[in-house]
Amino acid sequence: MNKRTILSFCAVFLSFLASSSVQAEYALNLRAPVTEIATQIYDLHMLIMYVCIAIFIVVFSIMFYSLYKHRKSVGHKAVQFHEHHMLEVVWTIIPALILIGMAIPATKTILAMKDTREADMSIKATGHQWKWEYEYLGKDVRFISTLATPQEQIHGTAPKSEHYLLEVDNPVVVPTGKKVRVLLTAEDVIHAWWVPSFGVKQDAIPGFIKEVWFRVEKEGTYRGQCAELCGKDHGFMPIVVEAVSEEKFNAWIASKKAAAAEAAASGDKEWSKDDLIANGKTVYEKNCAACHQASGAGLPPAFPALTGSKIATGPIFGADGKMLKDGHLDRVLNGVRVMPSWKALLNDVEIASVITYERNGLGNSTGDVLQPAQVKAAR
């Protein structure tokens, strides 16, 4: 291949880059930091990268100079040296000194990152396949946060929204200027909670609790994703954190509590079958469809079908009126193998609704109704 061909290749590539950069804003670097730690990481990365680029340029300038000047085709004769002890010592020691220079600021940042003492508030985040559950410790607020992007956008039948795949139904809300400690664990497999703008990424490990912290200085909405492969929908469990002023945060806590109280009250009344089915469809699509599929067909053998399932069409209660072991309600409340326990995640109304929906929708028609009060009694 001659030089012209190579040059024209490069020209085509560069013009391709140039033409597409006109259309789009390129994300080239770490996202803009909004915490002290993220700022330190950003600066650390820039420092290390510049040092690496400098080393790279020096070494390869020498190599390319040699490749150009010491060619056989320009008549260069090989000089037969093959050892130089001083040189070996020098190019061992200089990199070692550069490394020490890099290690010092990195160590400082690590010590700061690991210091979770004296937090102003704590949030427990639990990873589930494939959603996040948040509990504001001591504030009696608890909710599930799932992907809000509709399936139509993912499958290309609707135009993609601005925050495609990075939007949730219930964002985490935190006050600015406060040291927020996040306690991380998981229900089923390992997940990782990652918000790039905070410089926080921590694996959520089932059976263990790990801590991280952040203090957001700037109000805004910050988006992240699960960063540890956790199965089928690993790419579809984003994290959204809204940082607001302390007043707004307190108002938000109050509104969350009010909503929870209202939901609990609605569990005491008798529900109509149609209301339960309508409510159950929403609950099902948010929480169950990822595995059992929106149609109820499941993904056997990992995730069984609900349509025509022995459990979803069989009896819920035994002859003595008690909840049947391995019956429909037992499975939903207590889980089995990879099926999680929903006891703590859904309230009585939601569980009653979703079970009623599963028994009368998805191609099933048992005709029976499960009331929230029955769920409450069975807990």
Partner 1 sequence: MSTATAKHHDDHGHDSHGHPTGLMRWVKSTNHKDIGTMYLWFAFTMFLFAGAMAMGIRAELFQPGLQFFQPQVFNQLTTLHGLIMIFGAIMPAFVGFANWQVPLMIGAPDMAFPRLNNMSFWLLIPAALLLVTSIFVPGGAVAGGWTMYPPLAIQGGLSMDMSIFALHILGVSSIVGSINIITTIFNMRAPGMTLMKMPMFVWTWLITAYLLIAAMPVLAGALTMMITDRHFGTHFFNAAGGGDPVLFQHVFWFFGHPEVYIMILPAFGILSTIIPTFARKPLFGYTSMVYATTAIAVLSFVVWAHHMFTTGMPVAGQLFFMYSTMLISVPTGVKVFNWVATMWKGSITFETPMLFAVAVVFLFTIGGLSGLVLAILPVDIQLQDTYYVVAHFHYVLFSGAAMSIMGGVYYWIPKWTGHMYDETLGKWHFWLTTIAFNVTFFPMHFTGLAGMPRRIPDYSQQFAEFNMISSYGAFVLGLSQLLFLYVVIKCIKGGAKASASPWEGAHGLEWTVPSPAPFHTFETPPVVK
Residues 91-130 that bind partner 1 (CB under 8 A): 91-92, 95-96, 99, 102-103, 106-107, 109-111, 113-114
* H/E element, 126: strand 121-128
* CA–CA–CA angle 155, 156, 160 (5° rounding): 110
Q: Smallest gap, in angstroms, from Cβ of residue 79 to partner 1? A: 4
Distance CA 296, CA 284 (A): 10
* H/E element, 64: helix 36-69
Question: 78 vs 319, which CB is nearer to partner 1?
Answer: 78
Question: 208 vs 318, which CB is nearer to partner 1?
Answer: 208
End-to-end CA, the chain: 75
Count CB neighbours of 193 within 10 A: 26
Kindly write out the interface string for residues 126-165 of this chain, putting x where it contacts partner 1 by CB under 8 A and - elsewhere.
---------------------------xxxx---x-xxxx
Question: 162 vs 270, which CB is nearer to partner 1?
Answer: 162
Count CB neighbours of 166 within 10 A: 18
Based on its alpha-carbon atoms, the radius of gyration of the chain, rounded to whole angstroms, reads 29
Interface positions, 188-217, toward partner 1 (CB under 8 A): 188-190, 192, 194, 196, 199-203, 205-208, 210-212
Per the structure block, which two tokens stand in for 297? 């067909």
Distance CA 149, CA 166 (A): 8
Q: Which of 110, 149, 145 is nearest to 124 (CA)?
A: 145
The reply to whether 50 sits near partner 1 by the rule CB under 8 A is no
Question: 76 vs 322, which CB is nearer to partner 1?
Answer: 76
Question: 6 vs 254, which CB is nearer to partner 1?
Answer: 6
Q: Which of 141, 165, 143 is nearest to 154 (CA)?
A: 165
At residue 274, the 3 state secondary structure works out as: helix
Interface positions, 228-267, toward partner 1 (CB under 8 A): 228-236
Find the binder of partner 1 among 7, 11, 14, 29 (CB under 8 A).
29
Find the binder of partner 1 among 127, 171, 175, 224 (CB under 8 A).
224
Distance CA 105, CA 201 (A): 19
Interface positions, 67-86, toward partner 1 (CB under 8 A): 67, 70-73, 76-84
Question: 165 vs 263, which CB is nearer to partner 1?
Answer: 165
At residue 302, the 3 state secondary structure works out as: coil
Is 160:153 a contact under the CB 8 Å cutoff?
Answer: yes
The reply to whether 320 sits near partner 1 by the rule CB under 8 A is no
Distance CA 229, CA 231 (A): 6
Phi/psi of residue 317, nearest 5 degrees: -115, 150
Question: 75 vs 138, which CB is nearer to partner 1?
Answer: 75
Question: 127 vs 280, which CB is nearer to partner 1?
Answer: 127
Q: Smallest gap, in angstroms, from Cβ of residue 207 to partner 1? A: 2
Per the structure block, which two tokens stand in for 315? 């009896």
The reply to whether 344 sits near partner 1 by the rule CB under 8 A is no
Is 41:109 a contact under the CB 8 Å cutoff?
Answer: yes
Q: Smallest gap, in angstroms, from Cβ of residue 260 to partner 1? A: 29
The reply to whether 361 sits near partner 1 by the rule CB under 8 A is no
Interface positions, 9-28, toward partner 1 (CB under 8 A): 9, 13, 16-17, 20-21, 23-28
The reply to whether 1 sits near partner 1 by the rule CB under 8 A is yes
With CB under 8 A as the rule, give the number of residues binding partner 1.
Answer: 110
Kindly write out the interface string for residues 274-303 of this chain, putting x where it contacts partner 1 by CB under 8 A and - elsewhere.
-------------------------xxxx-
Find the binder of partner 1 among 11, 15, 45, 269 (CB under 8 A).
45
Q: Smallest gap, in angstroms, from Cβ of residue 286 to partner 1? A: 18
Question: 197 vs 371, which CB is nearer to partner 1?
Answer: 197
Question: 113 vs 121, which CB is nearer to partner 1?
Answer: 113
Burial label, 144 (beta-carbon count in 10 A; 0-12, 13-18, 19+): middle
Helices 36-69, 85-113: axis angle to 10 degrees equals 160
